Every structure is written in C-alpha cells, then in structure tokens.
Amino acid sequence: EAQVTQNPRYLITVTGKKLTVTCSQNMNHEYMSWYRQDPGLGLRQIYYSMNVEVTDKGDVPEGYKVSRKEKRNFPLILESPSPNQTSLYFCASSSDRGYEQYFGPGTRLTVT
Amino acid sequence: QKEVEQNSGPLSVPEGAIASLNCTYSDRGSQSFFWYRQYSGKSPELIMFIYSNGDKEDGRFTAQLNKASQYVSLLIRDSQPSDSATYLCAVRGGGADGLTFGKGTHLIIQP
C-alpha cells in the first residue's frame, strides 16, 4: 500500500529536549515536505526536499532542521523545542513538486 | 510573500445543493492549483488539481481557474453530508518552491 508514515503520532515533551519526528514514504517520490498546521494560520511549509541531499527552507524554517540522506526518509529535527512549536505536523511526498502530494497521518506535538 | 486567501466560513449549504468555494492568490506567476479536503483530525487529501484556465470536471466536483483574475474555485454538485469538511486551496509558484496553502474554508452540508 502506497503511504507516508510518521512517527510518533503524538508527543509531549519539555522545552529544550531535542526530538526527531520521522517520515518515510514507499512510493519512490523525489519531493518531500514538512508542514505545520495551527488554528487560524493554516498549513505552513517548514522545509522541503527535491531529492537526496537537496533541502530548502519553506515559509517557517526557524527552529527546525531536516536531512535527506535516503530517498524514502525525511526526518524533522527540533534541536531545542520551545512552546511555540506546539503544533500539528504533516509530512508529505510527491513525484514532483507540482503534482499531487500524499500526506502522512500527522504528528501532534506539545512542548511544555 | 505569496498569499492564498480563502473565506474561512463556515459555509452552510443544504444537502443536494451546489457548494461554491473560492480562492484568490497573489503570485501572478503561479502555475498549479490544488484543492484538498481535510476532515477534522485527519490529513489533507487531494480532490482536484487544475493547471489551465477554464473548467475541469471530475464527478461531482468542478474546479475553475481564471489566471487573469487570479482566482480558483471549486464547485461541489449534489452536496452530501459526507462533504462536510475544511477545503484547502493550494498554489504552486513558478519557481523551485513548494505549495502555499490558504487557511481553508469550513463547509457544512445540512441534511
């Protein structure tokens, strides 16, 4: 089954404790992206990657890091999480940046 | 800063009627336009995409694009209660960047 998986689905952590949210896709897609979704602000792109070892900032990259060492994986790293990073995070992939994006199930992160 | 604007709603439509959702965008160089549906607590799913001016129909859904006026719309015919969701408009620019999403329109289909 073609899918994008994210782990964990739910995470509660404390300020400053480094965390990683994993994202993996099994569709051999080149393009992957991370979004955060907040009430009243909609979906905002954090980082995207057009291929292995190629990443670029989206609209809200501050406080986040990503890496793309393999085509299927695109982890999101929060080196020192803060409460304003409490949000719902989605990973997405597509065969091209302009085509249909398949979204993962989401990760609800709470930083206290 | 690219902007995509949608009326947040809620937009209430009787069952069986036509629901009309609108979206405007600021980047005149935008190339691709998408409509996603998102149920509460779920991830967005693509329902329509359109690249050229005019109408594109898929079942009960019709996407309309007018690049000169910089707007894109989604019509849902014979609306069903299961169509109740938030509809997100997304736009891809002409450069090597990703999608910009609108904040979404909350649609309620009244039985």
- DSSP secondary structure string, chain A? ---EEEE-SEEEE-TT--EEEEEEESS--SEEEEEEEETTTEEEEEEEEEETTEEEE-S--TT-EE--SSSSB--EEESS--GGG-EEEEEEEESSTTSPPEE---EEEEE-
- Rounded to an integer, what distance in angstroms lies between the CA atom of residue B50 and that of residue B52? 6
A43 vs B31, B97, B101: nearest CB: B101
Smallest Cα distance from A29 to chain B, Å? 15
Report residues of chain B scoring pLDDT below 50. Answer: none
Report percent pLDDT > 70 for chain A: 97
Which pLDDT belongs to residue A97?
59
pLDDT score for A2: 82
* Chain A touched by B26 (CB under 8 Å): no
Size of interface A-B (CB pairs under 8 A): 52
Q: Position B44: which residue type? A: P
Q: What local confidence, expressed as pLDDT, does residue B31 receive?
A: 87
Q: Where are the alpha helices (DSSP H) in chain B?
A: none
8 A C-beta contact, residue B44 and residue B34: no
Residue B19: the pLDDT is 98
pLDDT tier at A84, thresholds 50, 70, 90: very high
Q: Quote the pLDDT of residue A106.
A: 97
Residue A38 pLDDT greater than 60, yes or no: yes
For chain A, what is the mean pLDDT? Answer: 94
Chain A residues in contact with B37 (beta carbon < 8 A): none
Q: Check residue B99 and give its pLDDT.
A: 82
- How high is the pLDDT of residue A40? 86
Residue B94: its pLDDT value, please? Answer: 62
Average pLDDT score over residue span A33-62: 92
Q: What pLDDT does residue A67 have?
A: 96
Instruction: Return the residue of A nearest to B103 by Cα.
Output: A42
Smallest CA–CA separation between A99 and chain B, in Å?
8
Quick check: B106 contacting A, CB < 8 Å?
no
